[in-house]
Amino acid sequence: METFLSVLTAAGGLAFFLFGMNLLGNSLERAAGGRMQKALEKMTSNVFKSLLLGLVVTATIQSSSATTVIVVGLVNAGILKLRNAIGVIMGANIGTTVTSLIVSLADPNHANSANMILKFLKPETFTPVIAVIAIIVIMSTKKSKPRMIAEIMFGFAILFNGMMIMTDALKPLSESDMFRNIFATLSNPLLGILVGTVVTAIIQSSSASVAILQTTAATGAVPFSAAVPIILGQNIGTCVTSLLSSIGANKNARRAAMVHLYFNIIGTIIFFIAIYLIQMFIGFPFWNDPISMTGISYVHITFNVVTTILFIPFTGLLEKLAVLTVRGKKNEGQDEEVPQVSVLDERFLRTPQLALSHSKEIIELMGTYAKKNFKRSVTMFQSFDLKKKENILEFEDAIDRMEDRLNRYMVDMTNQELSEQDSRTITYQMKLIVEFERIGDYAINVLELAEQLHQKGVKLSDKAIEELHAFSDAVTEIIELALACVKDNDSKLATRVEPLEEIVDKMEDTLKFRHIERLKNGQCTIDGGLVFLELLTNLERISDHCSNIAVYVIGYQHQLDTLDRHEYIKQMHEGEDSEYSRVFKEYNEKYFSRI
């Protein structure tokens, strides 16, 4: 009965430990505002930078599984190249050893140490203090930053409290014959590797798995010979999380997960052979002695550091092995102009800042495709091309799919814990999605108008084509301005949109009047004339949507929840802004003078 209660208490301690680790990791990621993950995009120019970055990130969030999942997501999104990701994965394996070092502070062998610093660092000393401070802050303030720091502290306290519960609960088991017999069976090293792999795969955390082994070792029932293969197996088991995260991802993301698996499996084989050859021919004097918590930490560190050093020169071979395992299509790599729909990776959702950064890239891609479709559609009035038409429709289909995925992604994001700024950004981005999608729709309207003329065998007059060139150039620039101010978050650039939009309005009115006069005078066919008038309307509406985008950028950058577009435009048109007048004159000379 006593043994059952000890196991039950240890299980409760494990629950606290895992919850604390989860709370600590999530709180640290939120506090970082996605900066740690964003750093992965920029600091991977060579294997040493990548390795250092993986080490730092993993040491911070205390989970190599979390880091590799992020890496798989970044590779899947095309942000990280596979080769650059390899160094991050190797660094993550070293970074995960930090947890075992921290847990080893609870090693009973430190209890008699005269070092006051070590005594103060022991969990039973600082954990209650941290927990009390954290809960006071959480209960006394609603400010996001102090609460976030307090949550980090509280997760830290829960983690160590769970570890201490496990340690105390397992101490009585050291006298249990059944308990000793279990570890006696692990004298078979292959069985030890299997146990380490399975346990870690089940709880999906090598940090937690090593901590469990450390707390068990505190009973004195785990010999060095049994601990080594278990630790090796734990490093293999941690790969399960990244493998699961790669399900449904693209081939490079699956390759990144396979790199993680191969790195640990090959490293385990090499380390295993080396250790047992040394034991066979030289022998470790402590081989059958009980291993301490600190000893487990040292073995864990040694394995990860040594295997990383061994693999640094062979990152290219790891990449080739992963590519051979996850093969691409035979036609892969052909440079064809086809639309690409980037993946909105759900792995990023738990870090809204990173998810929003990723969604912004897709919104920008929508805008780029809409601009490309507009420019191509306008050219169809001079020379209609069925192949080009199909390509335009492919891009429009890609825009529609991106809109659908982005909207669903935004809804999923609202289910996460969001800051006030995150909520504002989601609202802002959803507005941009609507505007860019509508620009894409009007580009298709332009294509359909060109097709109408083509099917009727009607062509626009040379004068109409000349006017269309001037008008479409102005609309192209306004699309480019709107897209640029979104990409650069540039509210100053956005102020140039409205003056150009007014020029577009002025050009539309003038060209419509002239074309109606040509129709009256019989200088233009009815079919061609009506299509041209409708074409002018579609181009002007595109400029209206660009104006909306500019207003949204200005409002967002100036932290304005609402910016009255009509009032803003009214003020601009009334000349209250001297810069507006200057830019208006600039565009008047550039475009209106051409007609």
Q: What is the pLDDT of residue 114?
A: 40
Q: What is the pLDDT of residues 226-256, one digit of tens each?
A: 889 989 998 898 888 778 778 777 788 889 9
Q: What is the pLDDT of residue 338?
A: 54
User: Please, is 176 exposed, middle or buried when counting C-beta atoms within 10 Å of its C-beta (0-12, 13-18, 19+)?
Assistant: middle
Least confident segment among 215-224, 380-389, 429-438, 510-519: 215-224
Mean pLDDT for 499-516 is: 92
* HEC string for 321-344: HHHHHCCCCCCCCCCCCCCCCCCC
Q: What is the pLDDT of residue 196?
A: 85
pLDDT at 370 over 90: yes
Report yes or no: 473 and 591 within 8 Å, Cβ to Cβ.
yes
Q: What is the pLDDT of residue 171?
A: 60
pLDDT at 355 over 80: yes
Q: What is the pLDDT of residues 91-124, one digit of tens each?
A: 888 887 776 666 555 555 544 444 454 455 455 6
pLDDT at 459 over 60: yes
| Spatial distance between the Cα atoms of 98 and 76, rounded to a whole number of angstroms | 28
- Between 107 and 410, the more confident residue is 410
- Between 381 and 251, the more confident residue is 381
Q: What is the pLDDT of residue 93?
A: 83
How much helix, strand and coil, in percent to the nearest 5, is found in the chain?
80, 0, 20
Q: What is the pLDDT of residues 556-567, one digit of tens each?
A: 988 776 666 666
Q: What is the pLDDT of residues 16-75, one digit of tens each?
A: 877 876 676 567 655 554 554 455 556 777 888 888 888 888 777 666 776 787 788 777
* Mean per-residue pLDDT of the chain: 81
pLDDT at 374 over 70: yes
Q: What is the pLDDT of residue 7?
A: 75
| Spatial distance between the Cα atoms of 297 and 211, rounded to a whole number of angstroms | 9
Residue 364: which H helix or E strand, with range?
Answer: helix 352-379
The most confident of the ranges 68-72, 146-150, 391-395, 485-489 is 485-489
pLDDT at 297 over 50: yes
Place 295 in a pLDDT band, splitting at 50, 70 and 90: confident
The most confident of the ranges 102-116, 314-328, 335-349 is 314-328
Chain centroid, CA 444 distance in Å: 32
- Between 427 and 56, the more confident residue is 427
Q: What is the pLDDT of residue 112?
A: 47
- Between 426 and 173, the more confident residue is 426
Place 339 in a pLDDT band, splitting at 50, 70 and 90: low
Per cent of the chain over pLDDT 70 is 80
- Between 195 and 478, the more confident residue is 478
Q: Which residue has the tokens 């997960």?
A: 257
Q: What is the pLDDT of residue 336?
A: 39
Place 335 in a pLDDT band, splitting at 50, 70 and 90: very low
Mean pLDDT for 212-231 is: 82
Of 122, 68, 56, 109, which Cα lies nearest the Cα of 298?
109
| Spatial distance between the Cα atoms of 439 and 81, rounded to a whole number of angstroms | 32
Instruction: Report the CATH fold assignment for 346-594.
Output: Methane Monooxygenase Hydroxylase; Chain G, domain 1 (1.20.58)
Where in the chain do CATH 1.20.58.220 domains reside?
346-594
> What is the rounded radius of gyration, in angstroms, for the C-alpha atoms of the chain?
32
Q: What is the pLDDT of residue 180?
A: 45
Q: At residue 88, what are phi and psi to the nearest 5 degrees?
A: -65, -40
Least confident segment among 11-15, 223-227, 412-416: 11-15
Chain centroid, CA 511 distance in Å: 48
Instruction: Outline where DSSP puts E strands in 386-496.
Output: none
Q: What is the pLDDT of residue 376?
A: 94
Per cent of the chain over pLDDT 90 is 32
Of 395, 392, 292, which Cα lies nearest the Cα of 341?
395
| Spatial distance between the Cα atoms of 484 and 178, rounded to a whole number of angstroms | 70
Q: Read out DSSP for 175-202?
A: G-HHHHHHHHHTTSHHHHHHHHHHHHHH
pLDDT at 9 over 50: yes
- Between 89 and 166, the more confident residue is 89
Taking the chain, what is the end-to-end CA distance rounded to the nearest angstrom? Answer: 95
Sequence-distant (6+) residues with CB within 8 A of 561 are: 424, 555
Q: What is the pLDDT of residue 111?
A: 46
